[in-house]
Amino acid sequence: MYYHIVESPISPILLAGDEAGLKYVNIRKGKKKVKVPDGWVENEEFFRDVSGQLEAYFAGELKSFDVELAPEGTEFQKSVWKALCEIPYGETWTYGEIAKRIGNPKAPRAVGLANNRNPISILVPCHRVIGANGKLTGYASGLDVKEFLLKLEE
């Protein structure tokens, strides 16, 4: 597994992946910091493309990413993460809307749990998910980061 840490306006971001694709985009702020295990190899060149795309995103110049993703999770989680990728830039959906889109309308809480376990922040835009009442709900990197990302996309 390769990794590289890039700077961003919100905090440093850990990128990790292998030949199969990107496995982590981890904002280094908040509760869910991924620790770099022994055996991972620092490789800036491997992440040059995604680093450039993130830089363009934070500059307001990029609205969709073109990166091979390889998140690890259950089939249900992967179905939620796939649905997250369908949320258009600048829009928000509720947990209930996502539950309906994946064919499980009674599972908004399970969608929330899968959303919380999303290992590829920003590129799999879990920040675009809001509560049924239209309010911002929990975000592992903090509501200030979620608010920043949503304002960036306005």
**Model-level pTM?**
0.92
Q: How much of the chain is in helix, strand and coil states, percent to nearest 5?
A: 35, 15, 50
What pLDDT does 27 receive? 94
- DSSP letters, 123-138, are TS-GGGEE-TTS----
Assess contact for 102 and 86: CB atoms under 8 A: no
Q: Measured between alpha carbons, how far is 68 from 124 in angstroms, rounded to an integer?
A: 12
pLDDT tens string 65-79: 999 999 999 999 999
What is the pLDDT, as a whole number, of residue 88?
A: 96
Catalytic residues: 126
pLDDT at 137: 84
Residue in 137, 10, 17 with CA at minimum distance from that of residue 67 = 17
Token code pair at residue 73: 């999770």
Residue pair 25/123 in contact (Cβ under 8 Å)? The answer is yes
| pLDDT per 10-residue tile (average), the chain, 154 residues | 97 97 92 86 98 98 96 96 97 96 95 94 96 85 92 96
DSSP class of residue 130 equals E
Tens of pLDDT, residues 119-147: 999 999 999 999 988 888 878 888 999 99
